[in-house]
Amino acid sequence: MKRIVHVNQHVIKSNRKNNVTDPVLTCKTYKDTVYGHEIEMTGPTKIIYRPDKPLSCGAHVWIETHDPIIIDGKKEL
């Protein structure tokens, strides 16, 4: 299953404005979206920069992997 990871700029800006630390890392599969502060990749990854064809969320840079990832040291996606 393909997993896509990107950094949510809107959450970073909101965190600064509101003095909070909401998770800024977004991990998506075809069926789930999970947010976290720390991500560990367990296998090969590909980093993609595609300014002419961003993701539907607006991300121009993201990481793709087909191997499981560990989010915040516990949750596997």
pLDDT in tens, the chain (77 residues): 999 999 999 999 999 999 999 999 999 999 999 999 999 999 999 999 999 999 998 999 999 999 999 999 987 88
Sheet holding 61-65, edge to edge: 33-36, 25-28, 3-7, 61-65, 46-49
Whole-Å CA distances, 9 to 14, 46, 52, 57, 75: 9, 20, 18, 11, 23
What is the pLDDT at residue 74?
Answer: 86
Residue 54, Cβ neighbours under 10 Å: how many?
A: 14
What is the pLDDT at residue 76?
Answer: 82
